[in-house]
Structure 1
Amino acid sequence: MAASKKPNETESKADGKTCFVVMPIADHDSYEKGHFKRVYDHVIAPACKAAGYKPVRADDVVKSNHIVVDILKNLVNSEMVVCDISSRNPNVLYELGLRHAFNLPTVLIKDFKTTDIFDISSIRYTSYNEDLRIDNVEKSIKSITKAIIDTASNDDDVNSIVQLLGVTKATTPDKIELDQGQSVILAQLERLMQKVEDTQQIKHSRYSEIRDEQIVQIDQKSFFVNNEHVSLGDEFYFSDTHNYAGILTGVSRGSVILYNPRNESNLVVNTFEERFERLTTNPIPF
């Protein structure tokens, strides 16, 4: 006779419903390497399955050249979203704000070590123990499962600031056609989001041979310059005028070397110069 399943087993009962999981993807220097992947695999995903949803994480949904579009579609179209605000990741909070704008069912979770965020402190959330001990994992799965089921079944539950304030929620048209300008803006937004992830993951790297307040070496060809993740060959501009500065060809302690093919000249910009702070790889004025 086949063994009967225990009530707390977390095999998927999903009937086509999706739970999009918004959480930190990159490693964070306050946690062990791979921590948030383990949180997803051992806590969040089992809880979603136990509640009757198929869990999908942001790095599972990239189907087009516009990563942001793929994420936005899942934020708007998924029946449920679980949002882990642990470590106060800026990308996570940005995506949470988008979900809240549509006032759609959302479960907030965070670990015990992350302090409360004032702006969303009025919205109910579920806490879990970040040590991932087996006994704590089982408790966390049960509490998050309950939060998902309760949120899905309670139409009066406050899912967002939009509902709390009683303002009109955002809506989407049946079809969206992106023009060239919108595509450029999306591409820049994707680049900025990637740089946020890169900053979270790399800026505390011990590899660095060149390190000061404005230049940090990542590897032989990659650097942080003015907190931007750049590589040799990237084009730079001056942020105030958006004039072309040149192509990054070299970095040393205290300066960068830019080659301008338009006049075939090299430009050395030192960190003590005022114009150094105006160097950027973003040519679009905001």
Structure 2
Amino acid sequence: MNQKNSELGNNTDSQDKIENQKEDTRPVCGLIMPIADKDGYPIGHWKEVKKIITSVAEEAGFRTRLVSESEDVRVIQKTIVQNVFDDDIIICDVSSKNPNVMFELGLRFAFDKAAVIIKDDETGYSFDTSPVEHINYRKDLRFSSIEQFKKDLFAKLKATFEKSKEANHSMYLQDFGKFVIKELDTKTVSENQYILEKLIEMQKEIKNISNANLKNAKKEEFIIKGDSRAEIKDLVKSLYIRYSNEGIDYSKSRLADLISITMEENYKIEISSRTIIRYIEQFIAEQRN
């Protein structure tokens, strides 16, 4: 008997694993909303709002996530734009008129795809989006009012999604004029090319960090007496070595421009890029000898 129960338990576990491994084919409901705590709202407020929205969307049959979430490791701005374009429907909370939220909602409207706008009762309407229906909820998230809000959101979500599936139907742009919707370009790349693109992105990020560190670093003490060419050349050489050690393959002209800008901003010394290139060539010749 125990053996049969054990076998039954194993079969149940295996079935559960198979079910969990099945691809989630539900339509995706992306969330555009504030995330970080903000003055005028209690700590954890947006987490509570997200729970409420998610519960409604899940009940309506959607797989729900923030538009910034992705299974791939990629630049977050690319993830957001791609998800704003791809998601089957969007719920956007414009409460507090967060600039990032308003920008992402603008993108969704530009793509002319389904979106449901919500806001708390203390946030005013924005001029450009006011013609589109907003579903209001109490900022204090009082239980009785939130229960009604959830019913209204559920109905609006289902109706908007069904409307979006109608062929050749414009969701919003028809109210503002005639437009041709720009599709996002998609391309298939090899694994090596993808890795190379990621490395290039990382290299750019490292360069930006290096430049920021250089700008904020303590200025080196160079005592320049008048137009002392030797001391200026030493300063150019020091900056040349610093930039060269960053591991970025700068061209001579780009390297000269960076050194010229650094000298002007940090040391109040103006020197032409052509002169700097001549100094660099002298340094390279000295190293070879």
Q: TM-score, normalised by structure 2?
A: 0.57
Indicate yes or no: 2:90 matched with 1:122.
no
Could you give the per-residue CA deviations for residues 189-236 of structure 1, whole angstroms, max 9, x where no partner exists?
A: xx9xxxxxxxxxxxxxxxxxxxxxxxxxxxxxxxxxxxxxx99x7528
Could you give the per-residue CA deviations for residues 248-285 of structure 1, whole angstroms, max 9, x where no partner exists?
A: 036xxxxxx7999457899499xxxxxxxxxxxxxxxx
Aligned twin of 2:78: 69
Distance 2:146 2:154 in 1: 12
Query: If each structure's helix is expressed as a fraction of its own residues, which one has the higher value?
Result: 2
Is the contact made by 2:28 and 2:64 (CA closer than 8 Å) also made in structure 1?
yes
Indicate yes or no: 2:19 matched with 1:19.
no
Query: Alpha-carbon deviation of 1:119?
Result: 1.2
Structure 1 residues 101 and 268: alpha-carbon distance in aligned structure 2, compared to 1, 3 A threshold: same
Indicate yes or no: 2:46 matched with 1:36.
yes
Query: Alpha-carbon deviation of 1:154?
Result: 2.9
Which of 153, 156, 167 lines up with 1:147 in the alignment? 156
Aligned twin of 2:229: none
Of the two, which has the highest radius of gyration? Answer: 2
Question: Which stretches in structure 2 are left out of the alignment for 5+ residues?
Answer: 1-23, 222-234, 240-258, 269-289
Distance 1:164 1:108 in 2: 17
Paired residues for 1:46-85 under 5 Å: 46-61=55-70, 63-85=72-94
Distance 2:70 2:97 in 1: 22
Which of 167, 183, 187 lines up with 1:172 in the alignment? 183
SS in 2 for 1:113: coil
Aligned twin of 2:232: none
Q: Which has the higher contact order (CA 8 A, sep 6+)?
A: 1
Structure 1 residues 59 and 168: alpha-carbon distance in aligned structure 2, compared to 1, 3 A threshold: closer
Aligned twin of 1:113: 122
Question: Which stretches in structure 1 are left out of the alignment for 5+ residues?
Answer: 1-13, 192-229, 237-245, 251-256, 270-286
One-letter identity of the residue aligned with 1:171: K
Distance 2:66 2:156 in 1: 18
Query: If each structure's strand is expressed as a fraction of its own residues, which one has the higher value?
Result: 1
SS in 2 for 1:73: helix
Structure 1 residues 234 and 112: alpha-carbon distance in aligned structure 2, compared to 1, 3 A threshold: farther
Aligned twin of 1:248: 216
Query: Alpha-carbon deviation of 1:118?
Result: 0.8
Distance 1:177 1:102 in 2: 22
Aligned twin of 2:95: 86
Query: Alpha-carbon deviation of 1:26?
Result: 1.6
Is the contact made by 2:68 and 2:79 (CA closer than 8 Å) also made in structure 1?
no
Distance 2:124 2:98 in 1: 12
Query: Alpha-carbon deviation of 1:28?
Result: 1.3
Distance 1:33 1:169 in 2: 43
Sequence identity (%): 27
Is the contact made by 1:123 and 1:159 (CA closer than 8 Å) also made in structure 2?
no
Structure 1 residues 235 and 169: alpha-carbon distance in aligned structure 2, compared to 1, 3 A threshold: same
Could you give the per-residue CA deviations for residues 122-156 of structure 1, whole angstroms, max 9, x where no partner exists?
A: 11111111212222222221111111012122358
Distance 2:118 2:56 in 1: 12
Structure 1 residues 266 and 117: alpha-carbon distance in aligned structure 2, compared to 1, 3 A threshold: closer
Could you give the per-residue CA deviations for residues 77-130 of structure 1, whole angstroms, max 9, x where no partner exists?
A: 111111111110111111111111111111011111111101111111111112
Query: What is the total number of aligned residue pairs between the two structures?
Result: 195
Distance 1:38 1:140 in 2: 14
Distance 2:220 2:85 in 1: 43
Is the contact made by 2:69 and 2:79 (CA closer than 8 Å) also made in structure 1?
no
